[in-house]
């Protein structure tokens, strides 16, 4: 019996259970999406260093009394960010940034519980098969690692800096999107076998472009985090030029050379702009290619055509959001929309690649 036939022959309760698994995966993906947006707000409001300790269990409770708030504020006043950048901050001002960071961490804890408990239940009842344990277990393991990476990021800003190290911020965001992508991919492909080898060979070029697009989106997200980590969106706020020039004169001003790609605002913004053009070109080429195939072969895969159109629309909106965020000097609402757009673009690219199966 083929895989497809085996899937079709499942009893109705089993099929219903698998449907619940897919719904649960989409809910997890939505929570990760929310966490990425909240994380962006935490960064843009300068809230990420407001909690100076990593307490995975006890840290789930916020300060519950005035004495607790004063103790938390005292710990914050001991780090360089307060002494250099926020010396005039009051307790009420501290509470604002504290709640952003606490919400970000609490959401991470909630996602862990929301994943683990249903996963154990689905595994115990056989709805998730033992052979699939590694796929789901990998997502949970990545989530556990993400918690440690988050603290590794925060720790970089507690001693010698007034913010977190840009490359650690980029690692933290990229890992979050890897968890999101893995969750979405499993939801899209669960019980949906890939096409026969011969059919896949006919569209090898198209799938190669689709794969390259996913890689490019991940790279662009990493580069965007470097821009955020270096506050590089606050310089060269013109487009398409960078204050009248294509390549800024200070693009390689740091020594050694490699530091420019992680710590030089001019360089990271320039590279992020170039990455945006690459992602845009790949998405448009992939989208138009599938639309052309649809016109020549009306009986071709419909999902591929729909996701191709979605790619064109989403990547165009994302590019426009990026330009608007830059030229308006990074207003909070546009910056968050741009970060959310990156996640939506990644999901669209994954949905398109899954449709090609």
**Phi, psi angles (nearest 5°) of residue 56:** -55, -30
Domain identity same for 180 and 238: no
Residues 187 and 201 in one domain: no
Distance in angstroms (rounded) separating the CA atoms of residues 349 and 214: 6
The domain boundary residue, chosen from 147, 176, 193: 193
Residue pLDDT, tens place only, 293-336: 777 776 656 677 889 999 999 999 999 999 999 999 999 999 99
Residues 309 and 290 in one domain: yes
Q: How confident is the model at residue 18 (pLDDT cuts 50, 70, 90)?
A: confident
Alpha helices, DSSP H only, in the chain? 3-8, 12-44, 66-77, 80, 91-124, 133-155, 166-189, 197-202, 204-229, 260-263, 265-296, 302-327, 332-355
Q: What local confidence, expressed as pLDDT, does residue 11 receive?
A: 53
3-state secondary structure of 245: strand
pTM of the model: 0.90
Residue 357 or residue 127, greater confidence: 127
Q: Is the pLDDT of residue 93 over 60?
A: yes
Q: What is the mean pLDDT of the chain?
A: 89
Read off the pLDDT band of 14 (50, 70, 90).
low
Q: Which of 158, 176, 193 is the last residue of a domain?
A: 193
pLDDT digits (tens, 9 = 90+) for 137-187: 999 999 999 999 999 999 999 988 889 999 999 999 999 999 999 999 999
Query: How far is residue 79's CA from residue 72's CA, in Å, rounded to a whole number?
Result: 12
Judge if 59 and 76 occupy the same domain.
yes
Cα angle 25, 29, 34 (rounded to 5 degrees) comes to 145
User: How many beta carbons lie within 10 A of that of residue 266, not counting itself?
Assistant: 22
Quote the domain boundaries for residue 176. 1-193
pLDDT in tens, 204-228: 666 888 999 999 999 999 999 999 9
Contact 104, 36 (CB under 8 A): no
Quick one: 246 and 158 in the same domain? no
Q: Which residues contact 108 (CB under 8 A, 6 or more apart)?
A: 35, 143, 146, 147, 150
Does residue 329 sit in the same domain as residue 247? yes
Phi–psi pair at 242, nearest 5 degrees: -110, 85
Residues 150 and 240 in one domain: no
What is the average pLDDT across 242-261?
Answer: 91
> Residue 201: phi, psi to the nearest 5?
-65, -35
Q: Are 63 and 72 contacting, i.e. CB atoms less than 8 angstroms apart? A: yes
Q: Do 181 and 208 belong to one domain?
A: no
User: Of 52, 101, 108, whose CA–CA distance to 78 is shortest?
Assistant: 52
Last residue of a domain, one of 149, 171, 193: 193
Cα 58 from Cα 195, distance rounded (Å) = 49
The count of structural domains within the chain is: 2
Residue with tokens 């789930």: 60
190-201 confidence digits (pLDDT tens) = 987 765 444 444
Together in a domain, 77 and 116: yes
Q: What percent of the chain has pLDDT over 70?
A: 90
Q: How far apart are CA 208 and CA 36, in angstroms?
A: 28
DSSP 51-114: -----TTGGGSPP-SHHHHHHHHHHHHTSHIIIII-TT--HHHHHHHHHHHHHHHHHHHHHHHH
Q: Are residue 231 and residue 169 in the same domain, yes or no?
A: no
Q: Cα 51 vs. chain centroid, distance in angstroms?
A: 22
- Asked whether the beta carbons of 138 and 29 are under 8 A apart, the reply is no
- pLDDT over 60 (residue 9): no
CA distance 311 to 307: 6
Residues 223 and 158 in one domain: no
User: What gap in Å lies between CA 176 and CA 63, rounded to an integer?
Assistant: 27
Which has the closest alpha carbon to 116: 95, 144, 78, 93? 144
Residue linked to tokens 């990420």: 48
Which backbone phi and psi does 245 adopt, to 5 degrees?
Answer: -135, 155
Does residue 183 share a domain with residue 210? no
325 vs 231: CA distance, rounded Å: 13
User: Is the predicted pLDDT of residue 90 greater than 60, yes or no?
Assistant: yes
Q: Which of 338, 149, 164 has its CA nearest to residue 263?
A: 164
């Amino acid at each position: 019996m083929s895989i497809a036939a085996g899937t079709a022959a499942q009893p109705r309760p089993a099929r219903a259970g698998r449907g619940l698994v897919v719904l649960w995966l989409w809910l997890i993906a939505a929570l990760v999406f929310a966490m990425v947006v909240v994380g962006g707000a935490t960064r843009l409001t300068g809230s990420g260093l407001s909690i100076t300790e990593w307490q995975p269990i006890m840290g789930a409770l916020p300060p519950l009394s005035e004495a607790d708030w004063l103790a938390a504020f005292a710990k914050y006043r001991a780090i360089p960010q307060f002494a250099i950048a926020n010396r005039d901050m009051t307790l009420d001002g501290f509470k604002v940034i504290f709640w952003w960071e606490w919400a970000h961490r609490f959401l991470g804890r909630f996602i862990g519980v929301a994943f683990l408990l249903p996963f154990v239940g689905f595994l115990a009842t056989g709805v998730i098969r033992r052979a699939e344990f590694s796929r789901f277990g990998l997502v949970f393991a990545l989530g556990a690692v993400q918690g440690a990476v988050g603290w590794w990021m925060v720790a970089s800003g507690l001693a010698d800096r007034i913010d977190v190290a840009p490359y650690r911020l980029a690692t933290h965001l990229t890992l979050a999107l890897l968890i999101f992508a893995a969750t979405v991919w499993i939801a899209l492909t669960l019980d949906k076998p890939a096409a026969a080898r011969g059919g896949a060979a006919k569209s090898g070029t198209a799938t190669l472009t689709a794969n390259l697009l996913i890689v490019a989106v991940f790279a662009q997200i990493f580069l965007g985090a470097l821009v955020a980590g270096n506050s590089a969106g606050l310089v060269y706020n013109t487009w398409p030029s960078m204050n009248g020039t294509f390549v800024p004169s200070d693009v390689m001003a740091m020594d050694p050379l490699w530091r420019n790609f992680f710590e030089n605002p001019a360089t990271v913004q320039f590279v992020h702009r170039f990455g945006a053009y690459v992602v845009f070109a790949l998405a448009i080429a992939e989208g138009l290619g599938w639309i052309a195939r649809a016109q020549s072969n009306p009986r071709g895969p419909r999902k591929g055509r729909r996701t191709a159109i979605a790619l064109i629309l989403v990547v165009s909106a994302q590019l426009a959001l990026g330009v608007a965020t830059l030229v308006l000097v990074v207003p909070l609402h546009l910056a968050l929309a741009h970060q959310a757009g990156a996640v939506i673009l990644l999901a669209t690219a994954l949905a398109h690649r899954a449709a090609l199966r």
